[in-house]
Structure 1
Amino acid sequence: MTGSVFRFAPSPNGELHLGHAYSALLNFDLACEAGGRFLLRIEDIDTTRCTPEFEAGIYRDLEWLGISWEEPVRRQSEHSADYAEALDRLIDEDLVYPAFMSRGDIRSHIADMEASGASWPRDPDGAPLYPALDKHLPQRERRRRMADGAPFAWRLDMEAAVERVGGGLFWREEGFGPAMETGEISARPAEWGDVVIARKETPTSYHLAVVVDDALQGVTNVVRGRDLFRATAVHRLLQELLGLPVPAYFHHDLVLGEDGRKLSKSRRDTGISALREAGMTPADIRRLVGLPPFTASA
């Protein structure tokens, strides 16, 4: 895998925990074993929750773990123009539309439908699909609402997008999915419905930013938690629509808490800084997450 590029892309909206440590260390180990590159990307597009203090904590924790990365670090907040360019392409090709329903509107509509006996579809994470009542609004009405300052989100017209690529989407899975899927995986993005691509006040969503960033940074191997396995279908669709390269994917196990749930940044007992203060060493962290001692040269 010479020439391979791996990346770790945390959001500075809380302290890193054992799950982050596992993902970062695994990416770093694989990059070193392959003689490839390891990148750090700061996904700080959510300016309401991301802070410089948490970002500084990320650097401190990763350095303590023995991880080094290339400079400069890509910070999403500094690259809004890249996401805007991708969004404009989707707008120009009529593959996204402004969606004006609020969360309350969505909940109310779905509750009414379910009260009448209808079974509302849900995405792979269990969230109800967007009703898309405003998908077919006349252009004049869309422009009027936007000019009046109505809140909206740019949503992918999933039906039109899937029709555009003509089906047959796959990705190469080098890890395992929730049902132990591996190898060539058939992508089914329609399961997610009309996902948010950007918002009026935010130039991108995770789905759009991650495929744009990976392409611009030349990432060849995406190694991340198994909770994102199904979302890869959306990413493959966007890569196809935007003509972006397709990396190999490796979805790894999640580090779970004692209650069997995915770790949260609010759980300080599994935070890297708290474990360091408790006297643990980087070698202890590697043992805790099930990784062997580090031997490759960085």
Structure 2
Amino acid sequence: MRTRFAPSPTGPLHLGHAFAAITAHDLARAAGGQFLLRIEDIDRQRSKPEWEAQALDDLAWLGLTWDEPPLRQSERLPAHRAALAELWSRGLLYPCTCQRRDILEAASAPQEGGAPLIGPDGVVYPGTCRDNPRSGPLPSGAALRLDMRKALQDLGEIAYSETGTRDGMVHVSAGHLIRSVGDVVLARRDFGTSYHLAVTVDDAAQGITLVTRGEDLAEATPIHVLLQRLLGLPTPVYHHHRLIRDETGRRLAKREDARAIARYRAEGATPADIRRMVDL
């Protein structure tokens, strides 16, 4: 078993991160497997070295150990670009020039009928740029979307292993992905890649066999499994765990650093205290 914890260095780690990291670490150790780290720093504007250093220090303080040096996504852009080039060569991507306001207005137009559908990436893309040219070299500095309908033309459904389900499997129809997920962005203009593409390519590069992450990301998993199918990558088992929430029921966010691990440390908490706070 190989698990991973993949923080973004855009703020302090909080109790929710502690729960996610400990869960992945303990599952690997209980199975005699390996626990890895990945620094998801493709957002170069918001990612800061000091937040990365703080995260590594917090994780070590919690008593977690990792079996390989951390992988940084910002150093993996050539691999992400190669995956995009493969999909582009097969006509599965198209450039998109829409802004968020354009997408919302198009999806909310009277002929669309009712409120716009919301998917893993927000408003489901209405396909405004789907007829843009797809020939020539892979565009640089452009937003690139996956043509979901074309990508699924030979697949009736997406199926993958998920812990905690009745038969250990999740089945998602092609129709659901087309209607309720839509043409997701695989390369952003400012990043050169996207979360969906980077996490898929990098999980395979690190040999991850069990992906543990919050239940808020479960909706995105069929996208990643589809990309694995398209790129010939292995599909790990998925474990989507509960979220740590505040007293009002909201999940914790980095902008609310009152529950930052560093703050608890400064107040004299121990790693055992942190485990109790998150019911481990």
TM range (shorter): over 0.9
* Partners of 1:29 and 1:137 in 2: CA distance: 47
* Partners of 1:57 and 1:156 in 2: CA distance: 36
* Partners of 2:267 and 2:117 in 1: CA distance: 42
Q: Which runs of 5+ in 1 are unaligned?
A: 292-298
Shift of 1:107: 2.5
Q: Which amino acid aligns with 1:162?
A: L
* Partners of 2:227 and 2:120 in 1: CA distance: 19
Shift of 1:131: 1.8
1:161 has 2:144 as partner: no
Share of identical aligned residues, percent? Answer: 46
Match of residue 25 from structure 1: 22
Q: Per the alignment, in what secondary structure is the counterpart of residue 103 of structure 2? A: helix
* Partners of 1:117 and 1:187 in 2: CA distance: 24
Could you tell which deviates more after superposition, 7-16 or 196-205?
Answer: 196-205
Q: Per the alignment, in what secondary structure is the counterpart of residue 123 of structure 2? A: coil
Measured against aligned partners, the alpha-carbon deviations of 1:6-28 in whole angstroms (never above 9, x if no partner) come to: 10001001110000000000111
Among 208, 228, 240, the alignment partner of 1:239 is: 228
Match of residue 11 from structure 1: 8
Q: Per the alignment, in what secondary structure is the counterpart of residue 50 of structure 1? A: coil
Measured against aligned partners, the alpha-carbon deviations of 1:196-229 in whole angstroms (never above 9, x if no partner) come to: 0002332211111111011111100001100011
Shift of 1:124: 3.8
1:107 has 2:104 as partner: yes
Shift of 1:126: 8.3
Among 251, 254, 273, the alignment partner of 2:240 is: 251
Q: Per the alignment, in what secondary structure is the counterpart of residue 7 of structure 2? A: coil
* Partners of 1:182 and 1:230 in 2: CA distance: 19
Query: With structure 1 as the length reference, what TM-score do the two structures score?
Result: 0.87
Q: Which amino acid aligns with 1:35?
A: G
Asked if 1 retains the 8 angstrom alpha-carbon contact of 2:144 and 2:187, the reply is: yes
Q: Which amino acid aligns with 2:171?
A: S
Asked if 2 retains the 8 angstrom alpha-carbon contact of 1:123 and 1:193, the reply is: no
* Partners of 1:201 and 1:125 in 2: CA distance: 20
Q: Per the alignment, in what secondary structure is the counterpart of residue 239 of structure 2? A: strand
Q: Which runs of 5+ in 2 are unaligned?
A: none
Match of residue 130 from structure 1: 125
Moved over 4 A (4+): none
1:230 has 2:219 as partner: yes
Q: Per the alignment, in what secondary structure is the counterpart of residue 272 of structure 2? A: helix
Q: Which amino acid aligns with 2:168?
A: G
Match of residue 187 from structure 1: 172
The verdict on how the C-alpha distance between 1:55 and 1:216 changes in structure 2, with shifts beyond 3 A counting, is same
The verdict on how the C-alpha distance between 1:77 and 1:126 changes in structure 2, with shifts beyond 3 A counting, is closer
Could you tell which deviates more after superposition, 16-25 or 269-278?
Answer: 269-278
Asked if 1 retains the 8 angstrom alpha-carbon contact of 2:159 and 2:172, the reply is: yes
* Partners of 2:38 and 2:145 in 1: CA distance: 25
* Partners of 2:134 and 2:153 in 1: CA distance: 22
Match of residue 93 from structure 2: 96
Asked if 1 retains the 8 angstrom alpha-carbon contact of 2:120 and 2:220, the reply is: no
